[in-house]
């Protein structure tokens, strides 16, 4: 089943993006693999047959960065750029902000509380800076997810840096929402100019500004997803979309030259991950829509966010505790089963009720996009 282009940009199609469902679960599992297999074994200087085989056949020949973790994150970034641009066309700015708030924060707060409890009882927690919980100002930054853009940085949840990127993208979307609805080309220009300006001035002000600019360097990856959406929705021609795709790439490279210089090293290249992620995304967009409507794809999509959040603190703890008692393979399998069960629980007990609450609160902002009509056509 092909996802065809909605040629009339004045209409916002009500369509189930099955290919998004298809991608979310595997993207989360790639991150889980990177931590449970790739990075954990590297940390303890051990190996395992699965890692040796995957490294020999895929990781080394294809120069996969971060043992698939960065690839999974890049797929998530493309997904967000695509789907959030679609959502912004049909929701008022107030409704958009409220729904994104309840989508991101409640599940994150729950897992953050789990990390805090583990720390208090003295259990090892992956990537946790203990000072993060010892000062109320640090806790406030953790709770608001501003700990990555306000110095000094304190990390309590290893994967939470990507949530900060998402929040910055949401803020950017809110700024240019009127342009996204009426003039996607101008919206892209405004977004790229803003990111470029922040990167160019990253060392001109204080540490907080530098940290903000460092996080903004990731936005071009999400903007590539937005370019794909604009092309799919009929807001850009193929040539214009290709031109903006290259512009996003150049802004991303500029951010590497100015801030993330290590990413210019082939062994740390985010561009190679981007190319592979784009190939996966394009295939799913054109051929995966039907597959994404299956029960398994939908369920894995539903729990992907909770799985992404909880797998580190709980899964790595299980592996670390049981590795020398039952063997690494058994410990990793038990950890995977456990975090999947926890992810389903968090989704149904925390994430899903929060999303529903967000929908109810957002009903105060029912205003539709200005001059943009919805259509019930299925594409």
Q: pLDDT digits over 184-241, tens only?
A: 999 999 999 999 999 999 999 899 999 999 999 999 999 999 999 999 999 999 999 9
Bridge partners of 375, per DSSP, are 13
Domain edges within the chain? 11-364
Asked if pLDDT for residue 374 goes beyond 70, the answer is: no
Contacts of 378 (CB under 8 A, 6+ apart): 13, 14, 15, 16
d(Cα 189, Cα 3) in Å, to the nearest integer?
26
CA dist., res. 288 & res. 23, Å (int): 9
Per residue in 44-99, pLDDT (tens digit) is 889 999 999 999 999 989 888 888 999 999 999 999 999 999 999 988 899 999 99
Distance CA 186, CA 188 (A): 5
pLDDT of residue 376: 47
Enter the tokens of residue 336: 């995977």
133-137, 144-148, 313-317: least confidently modelled range: 133-137
Q: Against a cut of 0.85, is the pTM above it?
A: yes
Q: What percent of the chain has pLDDT over 90?
A: 73
Indicate if the alpha-carbon torsion angle 136, 140, 145, 150 is positive or negative.
negative
């Amino acid at each position: 089943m092909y996802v065809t282009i909605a040629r009339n940009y004045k209409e916002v199609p009500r369509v189930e993006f099955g290919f998004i469902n298809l991608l979310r679960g595997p993207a989360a599992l790639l991150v889980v693999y990177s931590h449970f297999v790739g990075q954990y074994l590297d940390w303890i200087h051990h190996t395992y047959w699965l890692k040796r085989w995957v490294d020999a056949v895929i990781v080394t020949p294809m120069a996969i960065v971060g043992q698939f973790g960065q690839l999974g994150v890049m797929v998530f970034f493309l997904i967000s750029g695509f789907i959030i641009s679609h959502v912004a066309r049909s929701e008022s700015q107030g409704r958009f902000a409220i729904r994104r708030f309840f989508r991101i924060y409640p599940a994150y707060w729950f897992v953050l509380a789990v990390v805090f409890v583990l720390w208090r009882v003295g259990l090892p927690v992956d990537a946790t800076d203990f000072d993060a919980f010892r000062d109320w100002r640090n806790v406030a930054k953790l709770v608001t997810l501003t700990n990555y853009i306000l110095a000094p940085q304190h990390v309590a949840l290893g994967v939470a840096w990507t949530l900060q990127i998402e929040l910055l993208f949401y803020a950017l979307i809110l700024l240019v929402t009127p342009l996204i609805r009426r003039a996607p080309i101008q919206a892209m220009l405004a977004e790229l100019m803003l990111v470029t300006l922040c990167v160019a001035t990253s060392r001109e002000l204080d540490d907080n500004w530098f940290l903000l600019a460092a996080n903004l360097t990731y936005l071009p990856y999400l903007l590539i997803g937005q370019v794909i959406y604009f092309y799919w929705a009929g807001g850009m021609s193929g040539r214009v979309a290709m031109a903006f795709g290259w512009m996003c790439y150049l802004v991303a490279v500029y951010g590497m030259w100015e801030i993330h210089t290590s990413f210019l090293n082939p062994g740390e290249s985010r561009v190679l991950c981007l190319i592979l992620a784009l190939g996966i995304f394009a295939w799913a967009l054109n051929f995966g829509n039907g597959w994404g409507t299956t029960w398994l794809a939908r369920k894995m999509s539903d729990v992907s966010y909770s799985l992404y959040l909880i797998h580190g603190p709980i899964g790595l703890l299980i592996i670390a505790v049981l590795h020398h008692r039952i063997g690494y393979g058994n410990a990793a399998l038990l950890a995977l089963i456990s975090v999947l069960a926890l992810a389903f629980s968090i989704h149904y007990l925390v994430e899903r009720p929060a999303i529903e609450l967000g929908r109810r609160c957002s009903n105060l902002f029912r205003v539709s996009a200005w001059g943009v009509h919805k259509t019930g056509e299925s594409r």
